[in-house]
């Protein structure tokens, strides 16, 4: 494990001097060379509201760390680079959390394929300060096509909704999906600045600011039983159980380029992790009996086998076209 710490060069405050109006950003990278420069540039534009950026590289095989090091040499943004083995998404955040030496600042969990809209961090910090019992704050995300990422605002999956989506996927009518991304019909509340915000059951781990009163940096951020996928839904459910709200600050959306690390179709490892996450989420939150568990876990395994076959065919077809 190696560190590239801008603070060693005398730039920026130390973590122990955190002010309540700044946050610490943690991101986990894996083969993110194509997006990481734009990601860091967008963070630099938010620099007045960011104390430090902790980047944990999960064993990239491309030029991700080279791009990061070049950026740090050329820009004043305070970046800590930690090169690690691939411990998964939640595990990478655990490595990043351990690099913090204070629990006073909100933690902004951010994917390296997100380009923040200017002012996003300040809006999130206002939400964390001003909304009573808030646990998680986010803002809308859109893809390169300008369509809102449906994971920005979604419901927590029930056994019924999760099963339907597991079987039919995108063929399921949108209104029946737990991740439909539908907006609340309730009139949104407003922050002191006048910015509207809406309460949702769950959002995406691609962009989450966590209140220090919910996750203060002294314990794991994401549930370490998840390797990749599902940990953001579990965190939102944990917030709900803790009496905390999840809110979307209705600002101009940031851009989320999806599928950079996992690929599409998903790599075999990512595909396996996706189905493992289904089983883990079920066991932790929805399990009612041993008989039910046998049926559900068996169905997840059958889905994995069937979709692995389909993904393999799609992957070979893509290679032939190239």
Res. 75 pLDDT band, cuts 50 70 90: very high
Q: Which residue from 274, 271, 283 is spatially nearest to 311, judged by alpha carbons?
A: 271
Question: What was the pLDDT predicted at 258?
Answer: 79
pLDDT at 246: 97
Q: Which of 51-65, 179-193, 205-219, 247-261 has the lowest mean pLDDT?
A: 179-193
Q: Exposure pattern of 207-244 as b/e (b: 16+ CB <10 Å)?
A: bbbbbbebbbbeebbbbebbbbbbbbbbbbbbbbeeeb
Task: Please give the pLDDT value at position 167.
Answer: 63
Q: Assign residue 194 a region: left if phi > 0, alpha if psi is -120 to 50, beta otherwise? A: left
**Tell me, what's the pLDDT at 2?**
47
State in Å, rounded, how far the first CA of the chain is from the last one.
37
Q: What is the mean pLDDT of residues 151-172?
A: 75
Q: What is the average pLDDT across 304-315?
A: 78
Q: pLDDT digits over 86-108, tens only? A: 999 999 999 999 988 766 799 99
- pLDDT tens column, 240-249: 999 999 999 9
If you average pLDDT over every residue of the chain, what do you get?
86
pLDDT digits (tens, 9 = 90+) for 23-59: 999 999 999 999 999 999 999 999 999 999 999 999 9
Q: For 206, what's the count of Cα atoms within 13 Å in the CB-facing half-sphere?
A: 27
Q: What is the per-residue DSSP string for 139-169?
A: --EE-TTSPBPTTSSBPPP-HHHHHHHHHHG
Higher-pLDDT residue of 118 and 321 is: 118
Rounded to two decimals, the pTM is 0.86
pLDDT at 165: 65
Mean pLDDT lowest for which of 48-57, 61-70, 146-155, 200-209? 146-155
Q: Which residue reads 């809102």 in tokens?
A: 148
- Residue 180 · residue 174 · CB < 8 Å: yes
Residue 202 is given by DSSP the state B
What pLDDT score does 9 carry? 40
Across residues 170-181, what is the average pLDDT?
59
Instruction: Report the helix count and the strand count for the chain, using DSSP H and E.
Output: 8, 13
pLDDT of 284 over the 90 cut? yes
Per-residue pLDDT, 6: 47
Identify which has the larger pLDDT, 13 or 64: 64
pLDDT of residue 216: 80
Q: How confident is the model at residue 217, as a pLDDT?
A: 76
Beta-carbon contacts of residue 53 (< 8 Å; ≥ 6 apart): 24, 25, 27, 40, 43, 77, 78, 79, 80
Domains in the chain, ordered, with CATH? 3-260 (3.90.550.10)
State pLDDT tens for residues 127-150: 999 999 999 999 999 999 999 998
- Which pLDDT tens digit goes with each residue over 227-272? 999 999 999 999 999 999 999 999 999 999 976 655 555 678 888 9
- Which of these, 177, 178, 193, 195, lies nearest to 248 by C-alpha position? 195
Position 177 scores a pLDDT of: 59
């Amino acid at each position: 494990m190696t560190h590239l710490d801008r603070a060693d060069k005398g730039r920026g405050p130390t973590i122990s001097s955190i002010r309540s109006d700044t946050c610490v950003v943690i991101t986990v990278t894996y083969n993110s060379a194509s997006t990481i420069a734009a990601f860091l540039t967008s963070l630099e534009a938010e620099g007045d509201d960011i104390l430090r950026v902790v980047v944990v590289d999960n064993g990239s095989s491309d030029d991700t760390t080279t791009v990061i090091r070049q950026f740090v040499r050329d820009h004043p943004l305070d970046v800590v680079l930690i090169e690690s083995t691939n411990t998964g998404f939640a595990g990478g955040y655990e490595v990043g959390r351990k690099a913090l030496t204070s629990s006073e600042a909100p933690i902004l969990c951010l994917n390296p394929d997100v380009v923040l809209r200017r002012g996003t961090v300040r809006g999130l910090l206002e939400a964390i300060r001003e909304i009573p019992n808030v646990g998680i704050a986010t803002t809308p995300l859109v893809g390169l096509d300008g369509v809102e990422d449906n994971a920005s605002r979604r419901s927590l999956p029930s056994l019924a909704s999760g099963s339907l989506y597991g079987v039919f996927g995108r063929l399921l009518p949108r209104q029946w999906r737990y991740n439909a991304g539908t907006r609340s019909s309730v009139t949104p509340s407003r922050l002191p600045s006048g910015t509207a915000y809406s309460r949702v059951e769950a959002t995406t781990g691609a962009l989450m600011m966590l209140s220090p009163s919910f996750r203060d940096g002294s314990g794991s951020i994401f549930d370490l039983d998840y390797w990749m996928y599902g940990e953001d839904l579990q965190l939102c459910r944990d917030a709900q159980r803790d009496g905390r709200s999840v809110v979307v600050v209705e600002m101009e959306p940031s851009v989320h380029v999806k599928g950079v690390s996992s690929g599409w179709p998903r790599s075999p490892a990512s595909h396996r992790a996706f189905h493992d996450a289904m089983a883990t989420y079920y066991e932790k939150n929805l399990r009612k009996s041993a008989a039910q568990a046998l049926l559900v876990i068996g169905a997840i395994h059958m889905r994995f086998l069937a979709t692995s076959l389909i993904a393999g065919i799609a992957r070979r077809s893509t290679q032939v076209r190239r």
